Chains A and B, each alone.
Chain A
Amino acid sequence: MRILIVEDDAALSSFLRKGLEAEHHTVDVANEGKQGRAMAMEVDYDLVVLDLNLPGVDGLSVLKSLRQRKANLPVMILTARSRVEDRVQCLDSGADDYLVKPFSFLELSARARALLRRSHLPSESILTVRDLCLDRVERRVERAGRQIELTTKEFALLEYLMRNAGRRLTRAMIIEHVWNLTFDSTTNVVDVYINYLRRKVDDGFSPSLIHTVRGVGYQICPEGASA
């Protein structure tokens, strides 16, 4: 996929480029609004990652121009503004997603994949990782043909891991997406639920699919290799 990053902070845009290229995307960078707008108009991008606070033409003006000419181009906004009103203004102006600084690269990457998937593929109702299948409609999980009973939270956690199979997920990302909390609950709830899942999904099966990523969090590995 081809992605345009419009971000004036050279260090940040370079890290984003490096991370997205490592995920096999082709990445272009524009360091100011006018240049970003011109590039987005000329080139057929799959996604634009757009900072709001840009020199010259600001991000919101770029977004409004893009929406007039490229209504279906997915645009993810990066901003340091976190208030509800700012979020609403961006989404009303046509942004597809909105990420508040200081964000995690892993979060940006996960959201970029979701936007790319949404614009290219119909939503999958069945997620599969090796012999593990999760049916989002029937709320059913099977491994090697054997049905696995999960609680609502265990199901949501497994779905999040499988939707991001092969990718590292931090505990903060998991707690935000599965528990809908933006703060540290001071419990080891993520670790506890990962253990519950491991008992049901990995114990008695080979290879183990759920892996701990030291210093980061967890991931489900399609190869079953050690993370």
Chain B
Amino acid sequence: MSTSPHSFPKLPRGPDVLGELLHSLCQPLTSLRCSLELSIEEVAEQQQESVAVALQQTERVIGMIQLMREYLDAEQPGPEAFSSALAPVMRSVIEDLSSIAAVRGVRLRLVGTCTATVPVPEPRLRLALQYLIASMIEAQAVGGKVTLLLGEGPAGAVLRVEGERGFREVDFQNQEPSAMSPRTKRDPEGATSASGSTLRRVRLAIASRVLETAGASLVFGDVSRTRVDPAGFVLRIPRRVGPPA
């Protein structure tokens, strides 16, 4: 039997290889997670602790797979039809994160608004903003403050985020213990660990990639000269060209 060269399957390359591997990992991981969830109440009490640990570790692996997926997807611009009004998404992200900030003893304040529609699908925009702002919250000490200034320039929307401490202190140096106790029981490595810091850096990389794919510019570092040692980021997102979706 002869095989035409045209019938040879196209081999995946680059990110596609990772994408296919992640896709294949999802099936056994779903079985593993469901099996542990279902068995935790069935096993004897002495074994419940072990099953609980296995379940936590499985969930950590799944969390990392989720990040890998987000990183791979971040470069896809998404169909033209997808765009979002920035201000409502921003307000909703602030609402979601404000109780988390409060638990950490950090004040979160949004000032200003804008009317721009930006060329990023809403779920991705929400994800990128959540990652950026959550990282700023995590960087603050108790009693710290994060101020978000939303405005509009000729080219699009501008978001200036100021904190009393920036990303560098948390993500590029050793982190001090956080204001709230991290979830030591569930995540023994907690927020102060190297792996916690790595995850935060990966989240920032995903946010950056999502936004830059949409033509935005994201600059980390000192953003104001009016205070002592303020730090944060400035995000400029172009308006969507054409009729809104």
The yes or no verdict on A and B being binding partners is: yes
- Given A101, A106, A153, which contacts B29 in the complex, CB threshold below 8 Å? A101
Interface: A69 (CB within 8 A):
no
B45-73 CB mask vs A (1 if < 8 Å, else 0) is 00011011101100100110110010001
CB proximity of B9 to chain A, nearest CB, Å:
16
Interface: B156 (CB within 8 A):
no
A186 and B196 within 8 A (CB)? yes
Interface: A206 (CB within 8 A):
no
A164-202 CB mask vs B (1 if < 8 Å, else 0) is 000000111000000111111111110111000000000
B190 and A186 within 8 A (CB)? yes
Q: Which residue in chain B gives the minimum CB-CB distance to A18? A: B38
Q: Which residue in chain B gives the minimum CB-CB distance to A101? A: B26
Interface: B123 (CB within 8 A):
yes
B191 and A186 within 8 A (CB)? yes
CA–CA, A83 and B127, complex, Å: 12
- Given A18, A19, A85, A184, which contacts B63 in the complex, CB threshold below 8 Å? A184
Taking CB atoms, residues of chain A closer than 8 Å to B33 are 102-105
Q: Which residue in chain B gives the minimum CB-CB distance to A85? A: B79
Q: Number of contacting residues on A, CB 8 A?
A: 42
Greatest chain A CB density within 10 A among B33, B59, B97, B134 is at B33
- Per DSSP, chain B at the interface is helix
A-B Cβ contacts below 8 A, count: 135
Q: Number of contacting residues on B, CB 8 A?
A: 63
Taking CB atoms, residues of chain A closer than 8 Å to B100 are 179, 181, 185, 187, 189
Taking CB atoms, residues of chain B closer than 8 Å to A15 are 31, 34-35, 38
Taking CB atoms, residues of chain B closer than 8 Å to A215 are 40, 48-49, 51-53, 55-56
Interface: A226 (CB within 8 A):
no
CB proximity of A103 to chain B, nearest CB, Å:
6
Greatest chain A CB density within 10 A among B31, B59, B79, B138 is at B31
Interface: A133 (CB within 8 A):
no
Interface: A41 (CB within 8 A):
no
- Given A22, A84, A179, A214, which contacts B123 in the complex, CB threshold below 8 Å? A84
CA–CA, A214 and B48, complex, Å: 8
- Given A12, A171, A187, which contacts B34 in the complex, CB threshold below 8 Å? A12
CB proximity of B188 to chain A, nearest CB, Å:
13
Taking CB atoms, residues of chain B closer than 8 Å to A101 are 26-27, 29-30
Taking CB atoms, residues of chain A closer than 8 Å to B73 are 82-83
A189 and B103 within 8 A (CB)? yes
Taking CB atoms, residues of chain A closer than 8 Å to B203 are 183
Taking CB atoms, residues of chain A closer than 8 Å to B66 are 82, 182-183
Taking CB atoms, residues of chain A closer than 8 Å to B52 are 214-216
CA–CA, A102 and B52, complex, Å: 17
A141-181 CB mask vs B (1 if < 8 Å, else 0) is 00000000000010000000000000000111000000111
- Give B94-113 interface residues, CB cut-off 8 Å to A: 96-97, 99-100, 103-104
A-B contact pairs, 7 of them (CB 8 A): A12-B30, A15-B31, A19-B34, A82-B73, A172-B59, A181-B134, A215-B48
Known contacts A105-B37, A170-B37, A186-B178; 8 further A-B pairs (Cβ under 8 A): A11-B35, A85-B79, A101-B27, A183-B66, A187-B103, A187-B191, A188-B180, A216-B37
Q: Which 5 A-B pairs have the closest CB atoms?
A: A215-B52, A186-B191, A102-B29, A101-B26, A105-B34
